Structures are given as structure tokens and as C-alpha cells.
Structure 1
Amino acid sequence: MSERVWKVVEILSTARQFLEEKGIENPRGNAEALLGKVLNLPRIELYLQHDRPLSDDEVAAFRDFLRRRVHHEPLQLILGSVEFCGVNLEVRPGLLIPRPETEELAEIAILSLREANLNREIRVLDIGTGTGCLAIAIASALPYVRVDAVDADYEAVRCAAQNAQNNGVAERVNPILADLFTPRFTSSLAPPYDLVVSNPPYVTEAEYPELPPEVRNHEAKHTLVAEQNGLAFYRRIAELLPQLLKPKGLLIVEIGHGQNAAVSNIFSELPCRINVRSDMAGIPRIITAAWLKETSVCP
């Protein structure tokens, strides 16, 4: 038996203080999310049921979650899922956890396709799909879109397929195991596409040791780091873009801090209109490249 009977309001307060002392960012939000997971309650219900006593098993489970969190296991991995553009996504160890800034990429993609008003089925390619966050968010928002969601990681393809199934878009999201850097990459696909999106690895080898332990110890290095000073994926995408995009198609990619000029220069060598967009913090984060040629390499 526990030494005391904990109530929701008491254990939340104690957990918040504990997480704060351990240097965890947003300790209150973390405590609420973890306790909500244990009790299977939304955040608001924790306060509506503030006098609810916890069982010994619930206290033990909550303490285990707190232990994992102070050892810098990402909150999303402990919870097992993350909300992204209104869809719930399963997350798995080793895969890139969807970030809020990537939601902005998805929102730009969705808005661009709506504004295009093509009045036909739209085909999208997601390069480096990971959990499938971009592909599933776009397909969920736009019922006339079909997405090929590509990744070189078998576990990522499996996770994306499961997430597509969980969100009711499995018939329109097609996870594909394929490596961008192999000569036969495009033979795994069916180009050309109206839209190509990607949140590729862009961290440099020099930056990698400085990443937070939540990232460095729980997301595979190959999902984060790219060769050629973080630019390898952008150069390869640019090389293939004439084969991938339809005439007047659009590319949207996320970039790392300080990569604005270098990535813009890569795509400016193509017949594209380049636009740089900043995230909510005012940092250049997304580059769009609108294909200006009337013809494509693909028929």
C-alpha cells in the first residue's frame, strides 16, 4: 500500500514541482499530459475531478512516467502518440517525432492545393514520410488527394501505414519503401506529381552533438543528420525535381536554422519561383519552389 492516498490536485502539484526542479520545459503541461494518460482523462477533466483519489497502481504508473520523463525520454514517446494538424499519430522509438513547425508546412500545402482549385484528383509525393504526418494531414484535409509516402526506413513505412489506417485514409495514402539516393528511386514511384513535400534530415554533423538528449537519444541519427553540411537531401531532390513535378507543380520543403540562402540557391538553379516563409518565431523555415516550365520530363 502507498503511504498516503493521493488526490489528482495534490499529485499534479507535486509532479509539476518535481519536473521543474529537474529542468523539464513546461513542467505543468508535462505533468497534466502524463497523469491524463494514466487516468485516461482529457486535461480539463483532471481539474473537474481534482478531488479524485488515485489507486496504488495509478500512482505507480504515474511515477514510472515521471521517471522516464526526467531521463529525457520525449513526452510524445511516453504517451505513444502526438496530435498533428488535427490528426492523432502513433509515434515509435527511432522515428522523427512530428514538430509544430512541420505543421506549418502541412498547412501551407493544404492551402496551396485548395487555392489551386484543380477540380480533379491531385497527386502528392511525400519524401521521407516518417510517421506519415505530412501525407496523412494533407489526405485528411483534402478528400480528392492521393499521396505516395516514401521512406528508406522499413519501420517508418510500417508506422505510416498504421497511422493512415488509424485515420481512415489508407486508401489514399500509399506508403512506399524507397531510398531517395538510389539510382532507381523514381522507378518505385508513378510521377509526375502536382505537389512534392519533404521535411528531410538537415542537421549537420557538427550540430548533432549539441541536440537535446530528448532528440539525440531517442530519434535515429539518420532521421536528423544529412551529409554535405546538411544539404544532401535538398541537392538530390533538386536533381530529381524535373522528373517528379508536373508542369506548374509545387515543391515545399522544411529547412534548418541558417539554411535559407544555401537551399534557395540550390533550387534557384531550376526553372522555379522561390519563396521563403518564416515560422511563428520569425525564423526562415519553409521554402516553396513553384515549377515554371510548361513541360515536364515525365509524360
Structure 2
Amino acid sequence: MLCIQDALREAVKKLEMREMMTPLLDAEVLLCHVLSMDRLFLYVYRDRELTEDQIQIYRSMIAKRLQGVPVQYIVNKQEFMGLDFYVEEGVLIPRPDTEILVESVLEWTKEKGDQQDWVIADLGTGSGAITVSLAHYLQKSHVYSVDISPKALSIGRKNAKDHGVAERIEFLHGNLFEPLRRKGLENKLDILVSNPPYIPKAEVNRLQTEVAKYEPILALDGGEDGFDFYRRIVDEAYVFLKNGGLIALEVGHDQGEFIKKMMESKNIYASIRKVKDLSNIERVVVAIIKK
């Protein structure tokens, strides 16, 4: 039999040998999942023995992690904006960086004051993290969530249902603006938000193994220079946004200035600004439509 402390030591040693970036954290998160307990429990009850079933399940999870499978896919969960989201292979794992995008939108809605019934479109559903978070925190909003991946839409629907916001979200299958056009949403949106694929094609295969091998390339590959989706979004967003509406885009760490200039060249975007994260890295570009 193994106690909690010994199981962790065994797992950490294996993960360190494979040079995983966060061996102790990975080992703890996986064991917490097996036990349905929090990390404090692991230390308070470190001498508690595990059952044979628990040991077997834990070792199988560690084996998956050693193969490079992200922890979030192993436990089918990732926290985002204070909410737990179901994730599995086939959808991008929500990143903490993307919270800046959602927070930028929420901040803008607070500045606008009285309005509550926001009409929002999210281009690129993924797990539904952005879509569901906006619907959760803007409780009278209606969100159109677009993705070309049926699997992403399915998982987005699950997360919307789990968080009780499914009635205010329409999940639409298609490529970028195509589903919005089918719905007749020209000049109807208050907010358009997107975290599009923005990694240059040549860099995709050079990403960490657990990203390049397990996360969907469709959600990562931004074309030759990484700007393919931004060009299309910036070109067409004004058709669907109301005058004075907000566009908010997550960007790569070195892409903000280029996208800002792209918007400036169109003469339909005003109040263009880049939003930095706590590490002073530009993460989001926001602008207002002026027709």
C-alpha cells in the first residue's frame, strides 16, 4: 500500500525525470482529482493510505501525463474567470491570459452604465469559456457563439448548460461571420469578441509537445504570419456591430501594435487601445465602431 505522501513522491520523481515544467503541481492536481479533495487535504492527511483502486487510477493518470497529455485533458477540467469548464481533446484549453479579454469587455459594459441586454458575438467558441463567462457575468445578455468545429460547439453547449446560461446562448456552426450573416445580425451587435488562432504556421510545430501534439491545430494556426483571422475580422466586424459597439480581440504578445495599425487604416475604428496583463504584456486590442 502507498500513503498519499509516498504516492506524490513516486509521481514527482517520474515527472522530474521527464523534465515536466511543474512536476509537483501536476502530481498534486491529479491526486486531488482521484481523491475528490483539495490540495490542503494532501498535506493534512499525507500519511493516509490509498486504496488499490486509487493507486491504479493515479498511476494511469501519471502515465498519461508522462506521454505529454495536458493535466486539464486528464481531469477534464480547467478553471476560468472563477468558473470550472469541462475540456477534452479537440478544444483549446482556456488560458489565464484570456481572462484579460473577458475583463476588458466587462469593464466596458460597466462604463456604459444603464444598458443590460447586451447582444454579443464570440467568434471561436472553443470550450465556451469566453461565451459562458460573458453570459454568466452579464446576466441579461444574449450571446451568439460561432465555431467551425462541431466538437467545440458540443462542449460549449455542455459548459453553458452546466453553468445555467444555455437559454441565453445560441451556438452557431460555421466560419467566422458566415453564421451571423445567416441570422441577419448585420448592425445588431453591441459587442464582438474573439480569441482567434494567431500563431504563425511555421511556429505551430515548435510549440511545447503537449500543445502541438494534443491541442487542436485549427485553434492555433493563424496562417503564414499569424494575422489571417485578424484581417478577416477587422475587415468585416463593422458590418455586424452597431455604431458605438465594441470589438475586443486577444492578440499574441508581439501582435498588438500591428493590429492597432490595421484598425487605424480602416477609418471606422475609434478609441483603439492595447490592454496589458499584469506582466505588462499586450494581450488585447479594443476599439469602438464609428459609422
Give the TM-score taking structure 2 as reference length.
0.94
**Which of 148, 157, 164 is the equivalent residue of 1:161?**
157
- Which residue of the partner structure matches residue 40 of structure 1? 36
Q: Quick check: 2:92–2:127 contact (8 Å CA) kept in 1?
A: yes
Gapped regions of structure 2 (runs ≥ 5): none
Counterparts of 1:258 and 1:120 in 2: how far apart (Å)?
A: 34
Counterparts of 1:26 and 1:291 in 2: how far apart (Å)?
A: 43
Amino acid at match of 1:85: M
Amino acid at match of 1:284: E
- Which residue of the partner structure matches residue 27 of structure 2? 31
- Which residue of the partner structure matches residue 225 of structure 1? 221
- Which residue of the partner structure matches residue 213 of structure 1? 209
- Which residue of the partner structure matches residue 276 of structure 2? 278
**Which of 177, 181, 186 is the equivalent residue of 2:181?**
186
- Which residue of the partner structure matches residue 72 of structure 2? 76
* Aligned-pair CA distance for 1:290: 1.5
* Aligned-pair CA distance for 1:229: 1.3
Q: Quick check: 1:124–1:148 contact (8 Å CA) kept in 2?
A: yes
CA displacement, residues 96-150 of structure 1 (integer Å, 9 cap, x when unaligned): 1111100111111112112211334111110011111101111111212111111
Counterparts of 1:173 and 1:87 in 2: how far apart (Å)?
A: 17
CA displacement, residues 6-28 of structure 1 (integer Å, 9 cap, x when unaligned): 11122123322322222111211
Q: Quick check: 1:148–1:189 contact (8 Å CA) kept in 2?
A: no
* Aligned-pair CA distance for 1:180: 1.7
The answer to whether structure 1 residue 152 and structure 2 residue 178 are counterparts is no
How large is the Cα RMSD of the aligned pairs?
Answer: 1.6
Counterparts of 1:120 and 1:17 in 2: how far apart (Å)?
A: 52
1:105-184 to 2 correspondences below 5 Å? 105-180=101-176, 182=178
Counterparts of 2:162 and 2:88 in 1: how far apart (Å)?
A: 15
Q: Quick check: 1:181–1:236 contact (8 Å CA) kept in 2?
A: no
Counterparts of 1:56 and 1:189 in 2: how far apart (Å)?
A: 58
Amino acid at match of 2:283: R
Counterparts of 1:34 and 1:126 in 2: how far apart (Å)?
A: 32
Matched residue SS, 2:143: strand
**Which of 83, 86, 100 is the equivalent residue of 1:87?**
83
- Between the two proteins, what is the percent identity of the paired residues? 32
